[in-house]
Amino acid sequence: MVSASKLRRAQEAIMKMRPYSERLSAILNNLAASIDDSVENPFTEEREIKNVLIVSISSDRGLAGAFNSNIGKAVINLINEKYFDLHKSGKVTILPIGKKSFDFFSRRNHKLQDQYYGLFENLNFNSVRTAAEFAMNGFLDHKYDKVEVIYNEFKNVATQIVRTYQFLPIIPLAVDKSLKTNTNYIFEPSQEEIFKELIPKSLKVQFYKFILESNAAEHGARMTAMDKATENAGDILKQLKLAYNQTRQAAITKEILEIVGGAEALNNA
């Protein structure tokens, strides 16, 4: 019941966020189509991968079925499949968001950046922005050559999908150059400056969207888990009642047989 109440607010938040995020990406796409290819974007820089940051988004609490364990497994699988050698040499860093992620990777002695795992205690854009800026600045300063995010995407109350997203470097936009002739923007101060401002803004909004997706998915997963737990408890209760009644009936039958046997023995005597 608590999760049902929280889910409604979390679902409203992500449903409002998705159109904003999509529209911002569309504006960025249109803008990219209208500027020269000579404009540099440091967030798209492809370089040799020597250090990797993996953002693992879970929840603060359990009792949500496989919600948190699926994230842990996805991170481990990603490391084993793509960054095994880097992990062995200590070049893979985990940025846990959510206490369950922090606990999971702390027990396994992974290299952690643990200053942001409590974001869900006060979930808002400003607190999430600092975590996004940490990842962005780490990429710009060449501390990390790649940043990946693993989170649960909210589909509906019963379905959460584990997603792995390459946050940095940005995968180049599929720019439709025909937009050049259809787009009529007045730029102030300039195309280049607006482009450089929009990209960091878009990245922070995108990061916030990941958090909101996970938050809504968590409550949906907890509702489903508790509903199944209630059903299982009901089934177990029925089985126990049946076993109790069968045992009680067997005891009564035994007592009756003993009484009848005793009476029969007295009659024969």
pLDDT of 36 reads 60
pLDDT higher than threshold 60 for residue 175: no
pLDDT higher than threshold 80 for residue 260: yes
Average pLDDT, the chain: 86
pLDDT higher than threshold 70 for residue 256: yes
pLDDT band at 198 (very low <50, low <70, confident <90, very high): confident
Q: What is the mean pLDDT of residues 220-244?
A: 88
Q: What is the mean pLDDT of residues 76-102?
A: 96
15-24, 63-72, 84-93, 157-166: the lowest-pLDDT one? 15-24
pLDDT of 34 reads 60
Predicted structure pTM score: 0.81
Domain at 2-226: CATH architecture: 3-Layer(aba) Sandwich (3.40)
What does the DSSP assignment read for 227-264?
Answer: HHHHHHHHHHHHHHHHHHHHHHHHHHHHHHHHHHHHHH
For 98, 186, 218, 222, 236, the CA distances from 63, given in Å and listed in that order, are: 14, 52, 10, 6, 19
pLDDT of 166 reads 93
Please give the share of the chain, as a percent, with pLDDT higher than 70. Answer: 88
